[in-house]
Structure 1
Amino acid sequence: HCKLNQQVAGPFAGRSRFALVFSRSYIYSSLQDVFSLQHSHPRTTTLSTLAAMEKKLQTTVEARPDSPAVDNEVSKSPETEHNMETLTTKDNRRLLLRADLVVLTIMTITATLAALDKNALGYAAIFGIKKDANLQGQEYSWLSAIVYFGFLLMQFPNAWLLTKVRPGKYLAALIIFWGVLLLCMAACHNFAGLATVRFFLGIFEAGQLPTCMILTSVWYRREEHALRTAIWYNTFAGIFGGILSYAISSINGSLSTWKYIFLIYGSVTLSFGILVMFALPDSPDKAWFYNARDREISAIRTAGNQTSTNTIAKWKFEQVVEALLEPKYWVIVAFVLAWGIVNAGITNFNPLIISGYGFSPQKTTLMATPQAAVAFVSQVLCAMIAYFVPNVRCLIWILSNIPALAGTIMIRSTAPLNRLSLHPMLTLPALNIEEHRTASLIGVYLLGFYNTSWVMVMSLVASNNGGTTKRSFASVTVALVYSVGNMIGPQFFREAQAPHYPLGIFAMMVAFAIEMACGVMYWILCFLENRRRNRVGEFDPHTEQEGPSNAATDDITDGKNPHFRYAM
């Protein structure tokens, strides 16, 4: 009995991993399994359970005794116990590496292009689109927002389509169409034309976010969701957008610089969409880069998710009702709405705010880049913290908003408008820009932390929703509310208050406070539900269970699956 306990102690001593960091094999494993956060269950194990697990431990744990990816999130049901012996550590790493090289790379480039295309309007603004298109008053703000009207309108069809179509081909078609629309932007010369193209651009970009979230939940284990989400929903567009715009501004052609931006971005997006049509498989069992055995054991690899691996299934309205009745669903809705308001301000008005500090258009594009670099570094650091400290996605969600909130306070306190004013006549004399520019820029760069909480929330949505319909509905809800927030956000940035936009900055301050409150509520709800399930004896796949768990094949929701425990 003592010897058996010693065998089991290794793989379940997740909170003492610091001592193993310097093992070379462990470092390799760390890169694969960062964000292993599913340790909300108790660590108590009965003698009968230990005896049942002894055989499996000798085949998996001895091969890699410190690997959370092998033991932490894999279902121990009798149905999969024998199959798990065939999924060796070598198999797991090979499957994961190939999925990363193809699926993750495609999702990363797709999300980067989508963000570049959205950010393009902000850079076009400093290169003359407002003057060339004769935009007056709030027309630029409406031009920023109208893409999300299309985004919003398409989410309702997406909720149904994503249970009926192949996600890989659907994503490829969306990329091709929005690439064509970007090319059309260069041909527009007034508000009506630009607004029309932007509206349809929103329709075709609407499916990118929920499709990538579904692909993440299908291809990866729960403990892998957060890191992969952080990778594909990256800040590369912010880092390279300014650099690319600066490079494009050096083109001495007959067209305005902003037109070259749309022509180049559109051509690249269109070409990439054609490539995705042939390269992105819809699910692991259809992966061209797996052999026959790999396609079989890929289902075993994600069995511990306790969620359906189907991408096409019958629409089940009862799963939608279950989602709507959950408080966690509405907490996510509130967060995404607040985050969308912040995102609209940063995406569309960040270059204009920076140019208001007296920089030239070319210098502005470069000065906007450090904010995205801050976002990238913060995500990487949070990934490492999350690996060493289990179950901290909600904590990162909360704390990452603090420096972003501090940034808005710094911008607001150093702006020429030192009080909230809704009327252009109620202004104070402008401050000395040279004296306060550094403090304001630091505040702008601190806003880069805003992206980290979004990544945590998307990974939690992917991890905490079982059932094909419920998962699709939750993913579409995120995209839908995201569009509403991005429609509301630009309206706080009044043209009469340019370029410092005090009302818009104040709205972002309030939004950050709401995001933090939502993080606290979500953690409490998950903690209480996990504790309730443990107390009433509902079986946890990480400890002990009776009977097979068929969640991966039977389309069972998290609410109906007694083996499910919520990630926090």
Structure 2
Amino acid sequence: MDVGDKSPKSDREDEIDETVETLTKAQLKRLMLKTDLVIMPLAIVCLTIAFLEKNALGYAAKYSWLDSIFYFRYLAMKFPTLWLITRFPVGTYVGICLTPWGACLCFLVLCHNFTGLATVRFITGMLEAATLLCMMLINAMWCPPDKHSLRTAFWHNTFPDYIFLIYGAFNLLLGILFFFAMPESPAKAWFFNAEEKRLAAIRLAPTQTGIESRKHLAAPITNFNSLTISGYGFGKTKTLLMATPQAAVAMVASATLTAVSMYVPKVRCFFWIFGATMYLIGAVMVHTLHFAETRNVNLAGAYLMGFYNVSWVLTLSLSSSNTGGATKKIFMGITCAVMYAVGNIIGPQFFISSQSPTHPLGIGAILVAFTLMAITGVVYCALCIFENKRRDRLYGVAQDEAAIGLQAERDDLTDRQNLNFRYTY
């Protein structure tokens, strides 16, 4: 289909003649502020809870299988999730999953053996399977592409906490809140007035990725941070304290670099490669230096490994920004989540308790993985540049018009079908 063909206007397009350029800075700022005050806190707390559960068991030697058990069920639920996410609004589905998930986390305080912990983590893995995909869809639904990086960095965070009962109960309440507070789409946002709903459609139309879900279909780094540091001779309490700076590095690095990417265009792939490189430097320090003689330097290397979050966050944000079409966005999100689960199933098995604290096999595997991540960043960037130039040469310079974006959304065009689409990098 030629995206320039005229089709009957949908209700959402009626009386929308402006382009994004006609919106005032005040209007854009107000839309983004309202979104950040309602949507982002829900997404941030949701993913924070997921990280807290993983980190809480990080210093247990039997954690390898506990972590893998979680991701086996997490992976198995991806395919039912692919079907369910097209039958419910995103906010409703996340709320339905979070409520029993929170109840299960409360039961962790009653678990005193491996069998009990494994059973609970099996169930929580099933319930958490939707979160990553749903957060990616929420990103694409509510934010323009230049805002994806920073928002992804905040909801895909590493805030440390270790109290099961408190965050389990809080997660239960969050599930109820998510069910009622997360709108189905910007067009149905309870915190936008009628004019702001209209402006929100105009603001996101030029992204040409679509903002609504259709009703049809066509990490061992943080996990073993505490375990590694405990091997340096610290007790459990101090281990938790000494492990916190890596989470701080991950949060600050992600927030800083993604904030820069909001104002400096086409740097996300560069920061992706930079984050992977910084992580590799830290991993080499941990892998090669003798911890008994250079414990502080080893700790510094472990903290540099916090840069792992930068590459992952930017990968997720680019996936949201560069994928058009509702069905393809869901498929892309599922693919990312499946790879995330597979990595978290395999990764823990490289960390053997007898190799503590240096874990040469585990760190060696991570060195290979992040080398590949840096290389894929280079390849991804090159492919985006090549494809943009090819499209410019064949179809002319892309038009940044709201009408084209709205038509692409209505026709559910993918980024490959929409010849006016240009990839960001």
Q: TM-score, normalised by structure 2?
A: 0.92
Aligned residue number for residue 111 of structure 1: 47
How many angstroms does 1:112 deviate by?
Answer: 1.0
How many angstroms does 1:479 deviate by?
Answer: 0.5
How many angstroms does 1:312 deviate by?
Answer: 2.8
Q: Deviations over 1:137-193 (max 9, x none)?
A: xx4311121110111001111222222211001111111121111122222232222
Aligned residue number for residue 267 of structure 1: 169
Residue of 70, 79, 84 corresponding to 1:156: 79
2:254 corresponds to 1:396: no
2:150 corresponds to 1:227: yes
Work out the CA distance in 1 between the residues paired with 2:104 and 2:167: 10
Q: Deviations over 1:233-252 (max 9, x none)?
A: 123x2xx32xxx4xxxxxxx
Partner SS, residue 388 of structure 2: helix
* Amino acid aligned to 1:457: T
Task: State percent identity of aligned pairs.
Answer: 46
Work out the CA distance in 1 between the residues paired with 2:115 and 2:40: 37
How many angstroms does 1:545 deviate by?
Answer: 11
Aligned residue number for residue 73 of structure 1: none
* Amino acid aligned to 1:370: P
Work out the CA distance in 1 between the residues paired with 2:274 and 2:55: 26
Work out the CA distance in 1 between the residues paired with 2:142 and 2:278: 33
Residue of 251, 254, 261 corresponding to 1:386: 261
Residue of 495, 510, 513 corresponding to 2:368: 510
Aligned residue number for residue 24 of structure 2: 88
Work out the CA distance in 1 between the residues paired with 2:366 and 2:325: 35
How many angstroms does 1:384 deviate by?
Answer: 4.4
* Aligned pairs, number: 413
How many angstroms does 1:106 deviate by?
Answer: 0.8
Aligned residue number for residue 355 of structure 2: 497
How many angstroms does 1:395 deviate by?
Answer: 0.9
**C-alpha contact 1:530 1:566 (8 A) present in aligned 2:** yes
**C-alpha contact 1:309 1:553 (8 A) present in aligned 2:** no
Aligned residue number for residue 248 of structure 2: 373
Work out the CA distance in 2 between the residues paired with 1:98 and 1:385: 22
Residue of 116, 119, 122 corresponding to 1:199: 122
CA distance 1:546–1:276, change in 2 (3 Å): closer
Work out the CA distance in 1 between the residues paired with 2:319 and 2:259: 21
Aligned residue number for residue 5 of structure 2: none
**C-alpha contact 2:276 2:307 (8 A) present in aligned 1:** yes
Work out the CA distance in 1 between the residues paired with 2:138 and 2:330: 11
* Amino acid aligned to 2:147: E
Work out the CA distance in 2 between the residues paired with 1:274 and 1:546: 37
2:243 corresponds to 1:307: no
How many angstroms does 1:468 deviate by?
Answer: 0.6
Work out the CA distance in 1 between the residues paired with 2:225 and 2:310: 18
Which has the higher Rg, Structure 1 or Structure 2? 1
Where does structure 2 lack aligned partners over 5 or more consecutive residues? 1-12
Residue of 361, 364, 388 corresponding to 2:236: 361
Where does structure 1 lack aligned partners over 5 or more consecutive residues? 1-76, 131-138, 246-260, 317-342, 416-430
* Amino acid aligned to 2:357: P
Aligned residue number for residue 38 of structure 2: 102
Residue of 295, 301, 305 corresponding to 2:197: 295
Of 372-381 and 194-203, the range deviating more from structure 2: 372-381
**C-alpha contact 1:111 1:234 (8 A) present in aligned 2:** yes
Work out the CA distance in 2 between the residues paired with 1:226 and 1:481: 20
Work out the CA distance in 2 between the residues paired with 1:294 and 1:287: 9
* Amino acid aligned to 1:94: R
Of 90-99 and 189-198, the range deviating more from structure 2: 189-198
2:422 corresponds to 1:560: no
Work out the CA distance in 2 between the residues paired with 1:313 and 1:535: 36
Work out the CA distance in 1 between the residues paired with 2:372 and 2:21: 46
Pairing 1:24-35 to 2, within 5 Å after superposition: none
* Amino acid aligned to 2:416: G
Pairing 1:270-281 to 2, within 5 Å after superposition: 270-281=172-183
Work out the CA distance in 1 between the residues paired with 2:168 and 2:406: 47
How many angstroms does 1:271 deviate by?
Answer: 1.8
Pairing 1:53-72 to 2, within 5 Å after superposition: none
Aligned residue number for residue 67 of structure 1: none
How many angstroms does 1:477 deviate by?
Answer: 0.7
Work out the CA distance in 2 between the residues paired with 1:220 and 1:511: 30
How many angstroms does 1:351 deviate by?
Answer: 0.8
Q: Deviations over 1:455-481 (max 9, x none)?
A: 110010001111111000001110111
CA distance 1:279–1:222, change in 2 (3 Å): same
Partner SS, residue 307 of structure 1: coil
**C-alpha contact 1:175 1:273 (8 A) present in aligned 2:** yes
**C-alpha contact 1:209 1:479 (8 A) present in aligned 2:** yes
* Amino acid aligned to 1:482: Y
Partner SS, residue 77 of structure 2: helix
CA RMSD in angstroms, aligned pairs only: 2.2
How many angstroms does 1:547 deviate by?
Answer: 7.3
Of 261-270 and 517-526, the range deviating more from structure 2: 261-270
